[in-house]
Amino acid sequence: MSDAKDMGFTPNEMMTIAASRALKSDDVCFVGIGAPSAACNVARLTHAPDITLIYESGTIGTAPDVLPLSIGDGELCETAVTTVAVPEMFRYWLQGGRISIGFLGAAQLDKFGNINTTVIGDYAHPKTRLPGGGGAPEIATSSRQVYITMAQSKRGMVEKIDFFTSFGHGDGGDHRKRLGIDTAGPTLLITDLAIWKPDPVTKEFTVVSLHPGVSREQVQETCGWTVKFAEALDETPAPTELELKTLRDLQARTKAAHQGTAKGKAA
């Protein structure tokens, strides 16, 4: 099959845009830094203008002109409807059931949507120390649904994660319910190659849509477990001109701002 680049967009652009399409104007979304932030802001700038974006630092209804490097970026507070204390953010908004979508990234992910962002290798003697969980563990259990986005690789999508940072569906099935967690957990995984949804019974992530030009073999080659594909496998619609322009303009503004070359706000 042809490569996505031959079609005028990259796999990462397809991933970000596919993720943005899952969001709606009436969503209240707890946004992770990185790819989730890009997807949420593309949604806000295109089909979901009324989406409420919340970042962990306490900014509510933020509408950044550039993507933040961290939750503490001034851009988030400057454009927010309001900023609340972090304890209020977690207790009232998140644990109070007011977040419809928690949007997370992952360093390691297993087939049941469990996330590791803590260590690679043994916890006491890790090969790599990762940034940690931050608020992600609470987002994973208290948001009504969780969306995950990440680029596929055998190093990232593994049979067994090295550390449970954010709980997905545990061992599968009704594991969340047995632990007394009454939220839906991960309901969507968007990678640079495909869209995945959990099986209704086993909760194992299953490929439901391949991005344009992507084969089943490519998905399997970049995944550390045996991939299951839906019987009715769709093809993800290619990015529209508006979606691509919105994402690329956002990334260009971000690059200029972080390089210190931006002169005021971009048009």
User: For residues 18 and 190, is the Cβ–Cβ distance under 8 A?
Assistant: yes
Q: Measured between alpha carbons, how far is 52 from 265 in angstroms, rounded to an integer?
A: 22
Residue 245 tokens, joined:
């322009």
Provide the H-helix boundaries in 161-201. Answer: 175-178
User: For residues 207 and 230, is the Cβ–Cβ distance under 8 A?
Assistant: yes
Strands (E), the chain: 28-31, 52-54, 59-60, 82-83, 101-104, 108-109, 115-116, 119-121, 126-129, 145-149, 186-190, 194-198, 205-210, 229-235
The reply to whether 56 belongs to the active site is yes
Torsions phi, psi of 197, nearest 5? -135, 150
> For 58, left (φ over 0), alpha (ψ -120 to 50), or beta?
left
Place of tokens 């992910």: 109
Catalytic residue among 56, 75, 138, 243: 56
Residues designated catalytic: 56
